Every structure is written in structure tokens, then in C-alpha cells.
Amino acid sequence: MGGPRFEPVRAVRAYERVVEQIEEAIESGALSPGERLPSERELMVQLAVGRSTVREALRVLQARGLVRSRPGDPHGAEVLPFSPAALHKSMTTLARVEQLSLGELVQFRMVLDSAAILLAARLRTEEQLAEMNKAVEAMRAAAGTEPGAADTEAFGRADVAFHDAVVAASGNKLIQICTDVVRQIVLRQISARIDAADDRQALMRRSIQHHEEVIEAIRAGDGPLAARLSRRAMYDYYAPYVKESETSALRALLE
């Protein structure tokens, strides 16, 4: 015991070395978004590997969202600004193969969103508070006053804008990206059912009221209250779509 612990030597493929080199260059900042990689033939020469090896490496980097290459582009592959697309992809895969339930996803959002709101109540600036108010204003406009005049799509966009303003105020980019990713996954699962609801406009009005209450708590600096309100609002909004057996786990977050 305590002797040297040997690990099996994994045969590292040529294309992996290529991936590592380019990845390191990008993540270290030696290559910035917008800059171009050498052409495939040039890389082939510089790295002393075959064309297929270069191409397989570029595919992997493309799958990770780090570069993009287009046919005929004389400048070579383009280094992309970071996008959570790869994160989104792996979470979506996770949701499918691990059979993540809607309840788990909503629970995750309740946790992260309310945390963001708790932080936002402490750290927000006046400008950010104005952003939130503007978003709720847009929600009101989208919900309309005449029956049947609701613009579901605009309402959704305004809702996203509100949450973006909140997570921006929270100052935590990781929370921002994760809530965004999970929100999209949840919406993909139930957007059809939401669109089909015949009391959409009533749902919107309730949602707007909840948002107004949350904003008021944020304005007053009462983070715990704002967080509690937001969890309640999300529960009310999503619980109808969650399996009966899972709602108790959601309610556990409501105190």
C-alpha cells in the first residue's frame, strides 16, 4: 500500500494530439474569436499528419463549438466566440439518455433561478432594475388587453429578457448559462402543451403579477422574499405539467 500507482497508458491518437494543440491555443487566448486557423493543407504540413487526421480533429473541435469551417472559405476554419451550444447539447443528451424527468428539470430551475434572484436583490444596479421593469412591460404588451390578442411568442421573449436581466444582475455567468440551457430543454418538452392551453391569457396575467411581485421584492432588497416568490411562481406555472408523483419534491422547495 502506498506504492507507486501506475495507470494504464492510453494509446493517444494522432488526431487527439491535434485537437489538444489547437484547443490549447484557443483556450489560452493565443487564438481569439474571429481569427482563422491555417488551412487544412497548411495544418497538415505544420503538424506533420495526413489530411484525414486534420479533418477528424477539426470535426471534434467543431462539435465542441470552438471552430467553424465552411467549404470554399479561403481563410481556413474560424475560431468562434464561446457559445453554450456544446453545454446545451450534452445536457440535452443527458436529459434523454438518463431520462431526466420534467420534475427534475423544473426543480433545477427553481433552485438556480431563485438563487439568481436572491443575489440580484443584493447586487442589482438601478439600470438592471430598469431592465427588469422594461421586460415586464413588454410582457404586459404581449399579453394584450383584448381577449385573444395575446402574442405568445413575444411574451416568451419578454420572459426570457426578464430572466436574463436577473441573472446578469446576479453576477454569476455559470448560473446564467445553466438556467438558459435548462429553460430551453424544459420548453422543448412542454411548449406544445402550453400553446394548446385555452387559458393562455389568464396564465400570462398571473405570470405578470408574479413577476411584478418579484421585482418589488428585489427593489426593496428583500432577497429571501423575492426568491420565495419566484419559486412559487415557477411552481404554479409548471406544476400542471409535472407528474403527480413528483410535485411533492417540488413543493419541498416552497417551504
Residue type, 40: E
Per CB under 7 A, 69 contacts DNA? yes
252 backbone dihedrals φ, ψ, rounded to 5°: -60, -20
Per CB under 7 A, 46 contacts DNA? no
- Collapsing DSSP to helix, strand or coil, 113 comes out as helix
Q: Which of residues 24-43 bind DNA (CB under 7 A)?
A: 39-42
> What is the sign of the dihedral through the CA atoms of 50, 56, 60 and 61?
positive
- Cβ-contact 78, 34 below 8 angstroms: yes
Residue type, 67: V
Per CB under 8 A, 96 contacts a second copy? yes
- Cβ-contact 121, 218 below 8 angstroms: yes
Q: Which of residues 25-44 bind a second copy (CB under 8 A)?
A: 26-27
Residue type, 116: A
Per CB under 8 A, 63 contacts a second copy? yes
Q: What is the DSSP letter of 197?
A: -
- Cβ-contact 189, 100 below 8 angstroms: no
Q: Which of 12, 192, 196, 252 binds a second copy (CB under 8 A)?
A: 252
Q: At what angle do helices 102-123 and 152-170 cross, to 10 degrees?
A: 60
Beta-bridge partner residues of 36: 78
Per CB under 7 A, 75 contacts DNA? yes
Using the contact rule CB under 8 A, the part of the chain among 38-46, 86-94, 128-136, 138-146 near a second copy is 86-94
Per CB under 8 A, 141 contacts a second copy? no
- Cβ-contact 84, 95 below 8 angstroms: no
Least separation, in Å, of the C-beta of 198 and a second copy? 21
Per CB under 7 A, 77 contacts DNA? yes
In order, the DSSP letters of 63-80 are HTTSEE--TT-TT-PEEP
Least separation, in Å, of the C-beta of 64 and DNA? 15
C-alpha cell at 157: 421573449
- Binding-site size for a second copy (CB under 8 A) equals 53
> What contacts 252, CB < 8 A, 6 or more positions away?
none
Least separation, in Å, of the C-beta of 79 and a second copy? 10
Q: Which of 9, 11, 12, 48 binds a second copy (CB under 8 A)?
A: 11
Q: Which of 37, 43, 47, 91 binds a second copy (CB under 8 A)?
A: 91
Using the contact rule CB under 8 A, the part of the chain among 107-115, 124-132, 199-207, 237-245 near a second copy is 107-115
- Applying CB under 7 A, which residues contact DNA? 11, 13-15, 39-42, 44, 48-53, 55-56, 58, 69-77
- Applying CB under 8 A, which residues contact a second copy? 11, 15, 26-27, 52, 55-56, 59-60, 62-66, 71, 82, 84, 86-87, 89-91, 93-94, 96-98, 100, 104-105, 107-108, 111-112, 115, 118-119, 122-123, 171-175, 177-178, 182, 223-224, 249, 252-253, 255
